Amino acid sequence: MLAARLKNMFLSLLLVEVISSIAAFIPCCYAIYYYPHIFSLGIATPLSFLITFFFFLLFVFMMFFYQKIVRFSRFTHSISWEGFFTAQATLMLMGIFFLGICLVFANMETFYLILAFMIATMGLITSGHVLTSFFLQSLYSQPANMLKIVVIGMNHRTSDFCKVLQATSILGTEVRGYLDKKEIPNSPANYLGGLENLDTILRSEVIDVVFIFLPIRSFYDDIHKAIATSVFYGVAAYIVGNVFETGSIKRQPLCISDFGNMAFSSTSVDFFGLVSKRFMDVILSFFLLVSLSPLLLAIAIFIRRVSPGPVIFRQERIGLNKRTFTLLKFRTMVPDAEARQQEIAHLNEMDGPAFKIANDPRLIPGGSFLRRYSLDELPQLWNVLRGDMSLVGPRPLSRRDYDLLKEDWQRKRFSIRPGITCIWQVGGRNDITFQQWMEMDLDYIDRWSLGLDVLLLLKTFVAVVAGSGK
């Protein structure tokens, strides 16, 4: 019942998004169709933008809300404020982008049309989101709609769970109390007696859900009896999934045929977020490869003229789960640079296995400039499009660097796709130690989110324009 209520809220807010966008979209189509003499120079352009805007908005909504709502994560905050500002920020950023396009390729009438659509959609979503939230809160908070909950076993996980329910009053839940062998001081719920009282409580009181927090190994028989008693009286029983103390390890319930599983992973289990990350990788890498193709050609011609040898430098790198792939870069050093590495090993500016020299004597003319503005990294967009890499992720190590790793905890960085940029690229590069570099990569893995990727991409753009690369 609790899960159904969460999904009902998600679908209600999704419906608000759809209706709001359509309500603003239809008048714009009407204007384009009935006033062709005004929009004759930009009929296809604004219509294409509006359709793209419409579907992109729905995709972003699902991506940002679904995981928070169904996983019960900071629900009140996301449904009331975070969701509101996310929708507004998305609309505003996309609207500004479309307005800029219209100023360049269309007439002023089209510009005003897009501006009106953006303002109307923002207003409708704002009012619809707030009104829907308050309506659902009022509906579920009515005494007849309150979900009555009993928890079995009081410990620190039970206490945290009760506090979460109390903090998310919008769902209309009430913890009736807890059952345990004895009363626990300072508990966030009322003590209802021992486990033997469950039968009496379910027979005589209104109870909708039973949550079981008992250790499976030592309370197997008690858990089995609690489930059987709950089901006997038609009450749903849930065994809390995080039965193991796993710290920062992520948990994800899975079902393969009739085999239920609890998956544990060091990386994110946010399916929609990961799909969105890959979607963003494909779209942006393709767009950048096409739009920057003249620059790529110019760099290739320049390298060919100033230095004999191949334009593209290829090197085996270690990728996702230690799979190998061929990384592509514009060549910025002489063709025999790898063979001469031992000759200049004493100039290495990095500790640990990494090899970095800011003013490398093996650089070709212009190579330092290409590195400073990270232009040599542009061919890696093809690696991103292929799926070998991501736009954001730990930098892929060479086979040499991988073999020289001395601490196994550092190998956790290979649990996700390597990337063109990450925290290390915008946080110091050669100015930090190898140990700090590895810690930054693991910090990225532990707290990954799509928002963090966007932030790092923006910081990378600033760093590239400033020419802070080495």
DSSP string, 391-460: EESPPPEEHHHHHT---GGGGGGGGS--EEE-HHHHTTGGGS-HHHHHHHHHHHHHT--HHHHHHHHHHH
Q: Mean pLDDT lowest for which of 221-230, 442-451, 459-468?
A: 459-468
Residue-wise pLDDT for 174-217, tens only, equals 888 999 988 888 888 889 988 889 989 998 888 888 988 888 77
The pTM of the full predicted model, rounded to 2 decimals, is 0.61
User: How confident is the model at residue 20, as a pLDDT?
Assistant: 76
Cα angle 110, 114, 120; round to 5: 140
Residue-wise pLDDT for 298-317, tens only, equals 999 999 999 888 999 999 99
Contact 330, 371 (CB under 8 A): no
Query: 30 vs 465, which has greater pLDDT?
Result: 465
Highest mean pLDDT among 65-79, 343-357, 413-427: 413-427
pLDDT confidence band for 4 (50 / 70 / 90): low
Quote the percentage of the chain above a pLDDT of 70.
71
Q: Which long-range contacts (CB under 8 A, 24 or more apart) does 49-56 make?
A: 49/98, 49/101, 49/102, 49/114, 50/25, 50/114, 50/117, 53/94, 53/95, 53/98, 53/117, 54/21, 54/22, 54/25, 56/94
User: How confident is the model at residue 80, as a pLDDT?
Assistant: 47
Answer yes or no: is pLDDT of 153 > 80. yes
Answer yes or no: is pLDDT of 285 > 90. yes
Highest mean pLDDT among 49-58, 252-261, 430-439: 430-439
User: How confident is the model at residue 75, as a pLDDT?
Assistant: 43
Query: 99 vs 87, which has greater pLDDT?
Result: 99
pLDDT confidence band for 386 (50 / 70 / 90): very high
Alpha-carbon radius of gyration of the chain: 28
User: How confident is the model at residue 384, as a pLDDT?
Assistant: 95
The residue among 396, 392, 395, 410 whose CA lies nearest residue 452 is: 392
Contact 329, 316 (CB under 8 A): no
- Cβ burial 169-180 (10 Å sphere, 16+ → b, else e): ebbbbbbbbbbb
User: How confident is the model at residue 418, as a pLDDT?
Assistant: 93
- Domain ranges, ordered by start, for the chain: 2-140, 145-243, 271-466
Beta strands (DSSP E) in 196-308 are 209-212, 236-239, 250-256, 259-265
Answer yes or no: is pLDDT of 97 > 80. no
The CATH homologous superfamily to which domain 145-243 belongs is NAD(P)-binding Rossmann-like Domain (3.40.50.720)
Q: Mean pLDDT lowest for which of 140-149, 319-328, 449-458?
A: 140-149
User: How confident is the model at residue 102, as a pLDDT?
Assistant: 66
The residue among 206, 202, 200 whose CA lies nearest residue 174 is: 206
